[in-house]
Structures are given as structure tokens and as C-alpha cells.
Amino acid sequence: MRLWRIVGAVLVVGLVAAPALAQVTDDDLTAAELEIATTRAELEALAVELEAATVRSIELEVELDRLNRSVLETQVQVAAALERLQERAVALYTASTSNRVSLLFFSGTPEQLGAGISYLESLAIDDEMIINDLEGLRAEYERQQSVLADLEVEQEATLVRLDATAAQLNDRLGGAQSAYVALVDRKLAEEEEARRIEEERRLAEEAARAATSTTTASTTTTTTTVTTTTTPTVVEETTTTTTAETTTTLESTTTTTTIPSSAGMACPINGFTTFTDTWGAPRSGGRTHQGVDMLAARGTPTVAIESGTIRRLGSGGLGGITIWLTGQSGDEYYYAHLDDWAPGLSVGQAVGVGELIGFVGSTGNASYSVPHLHFELHPGGGSAVNPYALVKGLCG
């Protein structure tokens, strides 16, 4: 699990030296880790619900916008049809009156009379077509209004569900972060206790060896002068060599436990987080998601995923407070919606893997009720690729 990668392994010799204390601690830690794992699974399910509600809300916004434009177009068409109908009514009245008079006093041929009658009939047909078009437009307008009303009701319900899920998720994240910190503290305390016990054991062994050396030296002195001179020298050399080896081993073990990960990389959030694969999901403005949203309690530390240099700092636009980190590998990483940068952070600053660079927040276009880190991966400084597999491997 990620926790072990963060705080390291307990010294084996310490566990052997104090089996009763270590066993109880291990049981406690196992239970706490199980609880955190269960919480993470539950929060991942909530995160899926949140993402589904977010996507549906965006889809509804798009559909409502399209439908509103369609309603406006229909209204324009209805107005135009009414205007044509009014014009035709005036034309029909004028034409029919004039032609009736002409027919009454008509002195032309029967063919001309037939043409006049056909003209009057065509006016009636055109009017009927306009009326039919108008009725169709009105029916379409009423249908659109009904659909629009249904969509608005669904959108309102979706927003309510979105807010409720966000509030529940945010509350649970705060509790999970507290549990996570407590677990890490307990793990560190256990490691410190193991190191203390090991140091006491080492000092006791050295004291025992020193006592043995003194006894040997005294005994040898009463035997012969040559033995007295040679034996302490050999014993002292052996003691010195053994002590040096023990010290070196302890230093090596301590250094190993501070490495954030075996690949020289660390989870970009140093705390409890939950996230799902939302790469390519729709976002407002017709955009698609180009990263992963890592949900965490507001103020949770964000750290350098690998050693590198701070390339750019931003504090506006959709991302809000942002960081661009160029790693030693040549890859670039984008941190967005931060609550703040780490104190003193500056462009051009070199940072080590796991070093604090900011804090989780909800600046920019992020919902205030859902603090999270929007994280992007740009291999070689190029276009963004899906970072889910990377952070899943690092964060668990």
C-alpha cells in the first residue's frame, strides 16, 4: 500500500527485540489501514456518482442551450408566418374584390374567365399552406416548451444531487484525511520505537564486548607480558570493525525508509485522496477532461511527483492557482485549482521528489464544495496524456 512507501518499513531487528509491543502495533495499524481502504472504496463510489452528476449537468446545459436556440428560431418562424398570413389576407381581400368586379363586367373570352377563376383558387391554396405551416410551427413550439420544462426540472434535480454528493464527499474526505494523518503518525512512532530499541540493543552489545575485552586484558596481563601487549590490540581492532559495520548498516536502513517510492517518484498528494479515470469526460464550454481530478480535503499538501524545476506559476483563468513542474525526466506536470503555493515557492526553483509545493483547493472554475487537484501529465513537455495509471500506481 502507498502508506508503506511513504513512511517506510519497520526495522526487522526492532520487531524481533520487542515482539509484544510490535505485535499490538501491527494489529492496530492493520485495522486502521483496513478502515482507510474501506473508506477509499466508498469514496471512489461517491466520486463516480459525482462525476456522473457533473457530466449529466453539462449534457443538460448543452441540451438546454440547443433547445433554447431552437425555440427562438421557431418563434421567429411563427412570427414570419403570421406576418405572411396577414399580408395574404390583405392581398386576398384586395384581389378577390377587384376580380369579382372584373368578372361581373368581364367582356373577354371564356378562356380568360377560366384563368381568372384559377387565380382566385390559387390564392386560397397558398393561404391554406401558410395556415398549415403556422399550425405545424405552433405545435413544434409547444413540444419544445414541454421538453424544455422537463429538462429544467431534471437539471435542477441533478444540481441538487450534485451538491448533496459533493457535500457528503467533502465531509468524508476531511475525516479520511484525519485518519490518514493519525495512521502515518502512529507508523512513524512505531518506526522510531523500533530504532530506539535497536539502538539500546547495539549499545548493550558494545558494553558487553567492552566488559569482555577488559576482563580478557586483565587475565592476560597476569600470564605474560607478550600476551598482554598483543591480545588487547587484536580485541580492540575487532571491536572497532564491528562497531563501524553496525553503524553503517543503521544509517543505510534509515536512508532507505525516507525514499518516497522505488522509482524516484511520489504521489502528487501527500495525504488521503480518491479519484477515478475521467480522462476525456465532457466539461463546460465543449471541452474534454485532459487530466485526473484527485479529490482531497482542502489544504492537503501537494508535492513534487519527481525531482525537477518549477517552470511556471499561475493565478488566474480556469485553473486558478497553478504550478507547472518540469521533472528531471523531461516530463512536465500541471497542478491546478490549488488553494495556495508552498511558502516561498518561485519560478526556477529546484525541488526534490516529495517536496511540498502547494495545497489542495478549488480555485478557478472548480466547485468550491469539491476541493481537488486537477493533475496533468505531459510526456517530454508535449501534449497531455491520461495520467490515471501513473497516479494510481503511485497513490494506490
Q: Are 196 and 326 found together in one domain?
A: no
Which of 258, 274, 307 is a domain's end point?
Answer: 258
Three-state SS at 270: coil
Flag whether pLDDT at 259 surpasses 90.
no
Domain count, the chain: 2
Picking from 258, 257, 254, the residue whose alpha carbon sits closest to that of residue 354 is: 258
Nearest Cα to Cα of residue 88 among 134, 116, 118, 130: 130
- Distance CA(217)–CA(167), nearest Å, equals 75
The single-letter DSSP state of residue 361 is B
Backbone angles phi, psi at 324, to 5 degrees: -105, 120
pLDDT tens digit sequence for 296-347 = 989 999 999 999 999 999 998 899 999 999 999 999 999 999 999 999 999 9
Quote the DSSP letter at residue 284: G
Inside any domain, residue 4? no
Region of poorest pLDDT, from 75-89, 187-201, 275-289, 351-365: 75-89
Domain with residue 336: its CATH number is: 2.70.70.10
Same domain, 202 and 291: no
- The structure's pTM equals 0.54
State percent of the chain over pLDDT 70: 69
Residue with cell 397558398: 126
Q: Domain range holding 183? A: 9-258
pLDDT of 239 > 50? The answer is no
Of 63, 51, 50, give the one whose Cα is nearest residue 155.
63
What confidence category does residue 222 fall into, taking pLDDT thresholds of 50, 70 and 90?
Answer: very low
Q: Is residue 107 part of a domain?
A: yes
Would 52 be classed as within a structural domain?
A: yes
Q: Are residues 72 and 140 in the same domain?
A: yes
Mean pLDDT of 168-194: 77
> Across the chain, what does the average pLDDT equal?
74
Residue-level pLDDT at 291: 94
144-147 contacts at long range (C-beta below 8 A, 24 or more positions apart) = 144/67, 144/70, 144/71, 144/74, 145/71, 147/67
- Side-chain half-sphere CA neighbours of 232 within 13 A: 14
Q: Answer yes or no: are the C-beta atoms of 334 and 317 closer than 8 Å.
A: no
Domain boundary among 258, 290, 309: 258
Residue 167 vs residue 5, higher pLDDT: 167
| Shared domain check, 300 and 246 | no
CATH number at residue 149: 1.10.287
Instruction: State the pLDDT confidence band at 112, using cuts at 50, 70 and 90.
Output: very low
pLDDT-derived band at 123 (thresholds 50, 70, 90) equals: low
The predicted pLDDT at position 64 comes to 83
Residues 293 and 357 both lie in one domain = yes
pLDDT of residue 229: 43
In this predicted structure, which of 46-55, 134-143, 224-233, 321-330 has the lowest mean pLDDT?
224-233
Asked if residue 1 belongs to a domain, the reply is no
Last residue of a domain, one of 242, 258, 274: 258
The answer to whether position 268 is within a domain reads no
Are 202 and 299 members of one domain? no
Mean pLDDT confidence for 277-288: 83
Domain contains 274: no
Supply the pLDDT for residue 251.
32
Q: Evaluate whether residue 49 is within a structural domain.
A: yes
Specify whether 206 is located in the same domain as 316: no
Q: Which CA distances in Å does 54 have to 22, 293, 360? A: 46, 12, 20
The CA distance from 228 to 216, in Å, is 9
Q: Residue 270 domain-assigned?
A: no
What is the spatial distance between Cα 173 and Cα 181, in angstroms, rounded to a whole number? 12
